[in-house]
A and B are shown apart, each in its own frame.
Chain A
Amino acid sequence: MPNPSLIRDLSRVVGRKLVLHEPEDLLVYEYDATIERGLPEAVVVPDSADQVAEVVRIARRHNAPVTARGAGTGLSGGAIPCDGGIVIVTSRMNRILEVDADNRIAIVEPGVINQDITDAVSGHGLYYAPDPSSQKVCTIGGNVAENAGGPHCLRYGTTTNHVLGLEIVTPDGDLVWLGGKTVDPPGYDLTGLVVGSEGTICIVTKVIVRLMDCPQSTVTLLAIFDEVDQASHAVSAIIGQGIIPAALEMMDRNTMRAVEEAVQAGYPPDAGAVLLIEVDGLEEETREQADSVRAVCEELGSRELRIGFSAEDRERLWAGRKGALGALGRLAPSYYILDGVVPRSKLPAVLRGVYEACDTFGFQVANVFHAGDGNLHPNIMFDERVPGATQRVLDLGEVIMRLCVEAGGTITGEHGVGYEKRNYMSWIFSEDDLDVMASIKLAFGATDLFNPGKVFPSSKGCGEVSSRMKAAIAKVGPDAYV
């Protein structure tokens, strides 16, 4: 039950209208794009870093945990307030504060939508490189918290490679700058530490991002294969040629089937997999690389190759990939997106293992993923109205994560540990390893204030799933995905 004096204190900072505490107003903040739920006591929508700092100080006084929330597109339960408390929503902190085109940097507030940065700087021939598939809605604050990746991170790296400095609110409610506009600041790289810390040690209130020069030329190839195995061998072979494409994505048969129905991308119904390969750079470079990629794919049995040079043609080749998640909604009432990484050379074997596991559990799976990085995204399709289905899907997810770890990989490449995978952490990290990580929390003084119940192993459950909630979930459903 919301504590009236907490609500009063919060209202004094941001105004009464921007503190939500009525049950029906809180519903929307109970979930992100995953399965778990948790209800906050209050939701605040601050407008400035100072207000965030003030809210944190109030939370401390009231002993209420704080969970930051961007767009709520997270796929590991990161923005779900497991222990209730206060949710800070960054949607009003969405200003691009400075663009310095000559030095290729921008300073933005955490609620700025990823795509909006590129839109704001494209006039200078620049762009912001990390491009999670959710980039039209997800926030830079959420990207920083998760160290978000995306299709083009193969060549250009993930969020952490593009963040130079951060303004944060510490658990003491202090505003502190980490890093800055210039490289190699003296002392420890706390900026690098905060990126990927999933909102558990501080709240990010400003981000200095690095911008990149747009490439002169981009060429997109789509290679169609009969078998997934051929396609995954082609992934290693392309990299083995000394080519690091800007993006190298794969979709399997089930994905293609769904995409075909939704956007008519022209995929042959009997094909086993497609690779979407993009190379960028100077015209000469992209031509040379596209030739090599084509040769590799043909040698490895690609039955058809399409190539796009113009923006429109390339857009058409990407349409299937971009519409994939939305299209999957047609195959089943719900799907569960997994995120694991394996060494590229292990892709064929691990993919085979994924299909086998799904067969054993009796679920259909559609794979659409960042193949060049070895970053798998099996999407398991299910109907959560079937009793026990949700639990079995979670169990299957666990089996697949095990496959990744046994192949020398990891339990998450970009979606984060969050609530969902916290108990898998001990598969890859020893107690000592986790102990060192936990000492970071101590150093920040964040023990249980920020986003409790996340990242670290714990047997404590998250929130409850009420039947009213079920209705809300059903309403959002898979079509809420971009």
Chain B
Amino acid sequence: MVKQASLLSQLQAIVGADGVRRDDELSNFAVDGLTPQAAVAPSSYEQVAEVLRYAHTEGLAVIPRGGGTHMHIGNVPGRYDIGLSLLRLDQVVEHEPADLTVTCQAGITLDRLQRHLGQHGQLVPLDPAWGEETTIGGILAANASGPSRHAYGAPRDFTIGLKVVTADGRITKAGGRVVKNVAGYDLCKLYIGSLGTLGVIVEAGFKLAPTPKVERTVIATFDTPGQACAFAADLQHRRLSLRAVQLLNATAASAVGLAQQGLCALVLDLAGTPQAVERSRREIGELAQDAAADLRDEENAAMAWQSRMRPGSAEEPYLLCKAATLPTHLPALIESLETVAGPPHILALPTVGVLYASWPRLEDAEAAIGRLRTAVTALDGSLVLERCPLDIKPRLDVFGDPPPSFDLMRRVKEQFDPKGVLSPGRQVGRL
């Protein structure tokens, strides 16, 4: 193990004095309670590469990070020596509006990128929580997505290229800058969601979408999640102009004032051409009447958006899980999650088959987590504990049992990072 003093001087030689973070800033780099010996913020891809070459030679563990908004996702790191901030790599590299594509550096925040694109009537179809802080690199590494994946899909669906620094410090690329490309293996897929365990993403390119001409939000309330899900499925089948469909269970809906006590809320974001949105709104109105659901237009859509976007309550939830299941199993899953422990806040994407459930506090969390896993497994779903109390987290694999293809995943990790330099232990099965 290198001494901290020599570590710091080595790192300073690579990134310069302004690239090394002070000791009193190190706590900002903590991951699951582990604080690194040093933290750096390189200002070029070459510096990132050099930091990794150094870490690789010395066998030091590096955890990359962007805005830090998704660092709670993943297992407790096995080791952690150097925090690697990408925040100084925050430029738009190339945006040719006529091509409807963009290339940007990994440390740019989502909001800043959207503002840039918005001037040209375009957007990158990403809307996970904390847009003002979350960075493109972090979103990709965590495979984070938001409600608009109903219309646009997940990051894997529109990422067209990546620049990635390998564990041994080589700057490599995957994909390219054009919207269709099948040259070579599609490594973008592999890096997206790899949680910084296979490489450090320093640059990314996307297919963009035009900003919709008209947007509006309506909210329907229902007695049960089952009714809400059936309603959502019907809208999907009619292919109405919907950008997002979100279901809040009664606890979540009343907490943010979207529904009366005991009712769940279906938040429908309409987007598209003026007449198509108008027609969609009309049709939703008629269907709501048939279903005896209350329907109202949400005037302050932006406000409602903000409050809903952060799964769970305003304070950090004690436990936050993401579950995926077949859309038809969602009502049953919601029902069983509601009875497994105390009342959760649930935000579901019924047309996608994903939900986020959070508990502000829990008695005997470990036993409750066991019951959650049983409930999800019974419905052929997957469950990831995205936020989990630190006193029990080291004992758990937050991803659950390794999948059938785990052996291949392990072999991929071994090839990409044989020395275990990159975010060691954070992925499924502690890869």
Contact = CB atoms under 8 A, between A and B. Distances in A.
A binds B: yes
A147 B182 contact: yes
Among B233, B380, B405, B431: residue with most chain A CB under 10 A: B405
B242 to A, nearest CB: 11
B189 interface: yes
Nearest to A374: B178
A147 B192 CA distance: 18
A161 B210 contact: no
B215 to A, nearest CB: 13
Nearest to A201: B185
Interface stretch (A325-333, A386-394, A431-439): A431-439
Contacts of B358: none
Interface stretch (B12-20, B36-44, B109-117, B166-174): B166-174
A374 B325 CA distance: 36
A188 B176 CA distance: 21
Among A287, A425, A433: residue with most chain B CB under 10 A: A433
A323 interface: no
Contacts of B240: 282
Interface string A273-288: 0000000011111011
B106 interface: no
Interface stretch (A20-28, A52-60, A113-121, A441-449): A441-449
A437 B415 CA distance: 10
Given A244-B209, A411-B183, A282 B241 contact: yes
A176 interface: yes
A282 B279 contact: yes
B99 interface: yes
Nearest to A216: B239
A356 interface: no
B184 A186 contact: no
B367 to A, nearest CB: 22
Nearest to B397: A186
Given A182-B381, A189-B189, A375-B180, A439 B156 contact: no
B174 to A, nearest CB: 7
A428 B184 CA distance: 10
Contacts of A430: 172-173
B415 to A, nearest CB: 4
B97 A343 contact: no
A185 interface: yes
B172 A193 contact: no
Interface stretch (A9-17, A235-243, A471-479): A235-243
Interface in B187-222: 187-190, 192-194, 198, 209-211, 213
B402 interface: yes
Interface string B366-392: 000000000000001110100000000
Contacts of A285: 241, 272-273, 275-276
B327 A413 contact: no
B98 A196 contact: no
A426 B28 CA distance: 42
Contacts of A177: 403-405
B180 A373 contact: yes
Contacts of B35: none
A193 B189 contact: yes
A443 B412 contact: yes
Given A103-B327, A187-B405, A288-B274, A182 B380 contact: yes
B427 A187 contact: yes
Interface stretch (A41-49, A85-93, A134-142, A152-160): A152-160
Interface in A97-117: 100, 102-103
B154 A183 contact: yes
Given A282-B240, A433-B173, A146 B178 contact: no
10 contacts: A147-B186, A158-B180, A158-B182, A177-B405, A193-B187, A285-B241, A341-B181, A373-B180, A421-B183, A433-B173
Interface of A: 100, 102-103, 125, 146-147, 149, 153, 157-158, 160-161, 170, 176-178, 180-193, 195-197, 213, 215-216, 236, 239-244, 281-285, 287-289, 341-345, 370, 373-375, 408-417, 421, 425, 428-430, 432-437, 439-440, 442-445, 455
Interface of B: 96-101, 121, 143, 153-154, 156-157, 166, 170-174, 176-190, 192-194, 198, 209-211, 213, 233, 236-241, 272-276, 278-280, 322, 324-328, 352-354, 380-382, 384, 399-400, 402-409, 411-416, 427-429, 431
Given A177-B405, A190-B408, A284-B279, 11 more contacts: A125-B237, A160-B186, A176-B404, A182-B353, A190-B409, A197-B185, A242-B213, A411-B183, A415-B182, A432-B170, A440-B412
